[in-house]
A and B are shown apart, each in its own frame.
Chain A
Amino acid sequence: DIQMTQSPSTLSASVGDRVTITCRASQSINNWLAWYQQKPGKAPKVLIYLASSLESGVPSRFSGSGSGTEFTLTISSLQPDDFATYYCQQYNPYSPWTFGQGTKVEIK
């Protein structure tokens, strides 16, 4: 199975900060990676799919990069609405899918 290691688990930041979250896959997943944002009591919302494709309606301050085993989600300038928990997910079509452990972005 493909394991996803996400870091950090918690991140304290201020409005306007540049924030980076990393996800590492235990084996190559090409670009089969999605990033989600989840707020309490709500379903996860996809931000990025295929590692770097921005979902329609998602602000351009969110970006994704990487391929193979190393991926990053970057928020270029953190906004008040961005304080939430973020998850990566690999969706390699030839294996079971898995999520990272999550990164909680907190107000510093």
Chain B
Amino acid sequence: QLRLQESGPGLVKPSETLSLTCTVSGASISSSSHYWGWIRQPPGKGLEWIGRIYYSGNTYYNPSLKSRVTISVDTSKNQLSLKLDSVTAADTAVYYCARAVRFWGQGTLVTVSS
């Protein structure tokens, strides 16, 4: 059964880089022809799509975040990663990883504060 689990610091200082990892079990990131991606949800607000990576390595990012975001995969660890540079309080959100649209992690809250 496919499972996705987000992990990373729950608190990040302004101007620093937010780094999250999504550990995938029950399927191989490199062998399945699926998109893997990240979504976030600020407290009390709607869902915002951050970006996705295809198993071949092709990426697509939200244009509003593109200059600050990097999504990558580590096939040896079967992990997906997210890096968001120069964070501000507006980046405080629950961050979810997902495989395409049908499988999501439970999410992890990241707060940007000094």
Shortest distance from the beta carbon of B76 to any chain A beta carbon, whole Å: 27
In the complex formed, the residue of A with least CB distance to B100 is: A91
Interface of A is mostly: loop
Interface residues on A, range: 20 to 34
Cβ B101 vs Cβ A49 within 8 A: yes
Cβ A43 vs Cβ B48 within 8 A: no
- The one of A1, A45, A89, A93 in contact with B63, judged by C-beta atoms closer than 8 angstroms, is A1
Cβ B104 vs Cβ A99 within 8 A: no
Cβ B61 vs Cβ A96 within 8 A: yes
Cβ A55 vs Cβ B102 within 8 A: yes
24 A-B residue pairs with CB within 8 Å: A1-B63, A34-B101, A36-B47, A43-B96, A43-B105, A43-B106, A44-B104, A46-B101, A46-B102, A46-B104, A49-B102, A55-B102, A87-B46, A89-B49, A89-B101, A91-B100, A93-B35, A96-B49, A96-B51, A96-B60, A96-B62, A97-B49, A97-B52, A98-B49
List chain B positions with a Cβ less than 8 A from chain A. Answer: 35, 37, 39, 46-49, 51-52, 60-63, 96, 100-102, 104-107
**New A-B contacts (5) at CB < 8 Å, excluding given A98-B49, A99-B47:** A1-B63, A45-B104, A46-B102, A93-B35, A96-B60
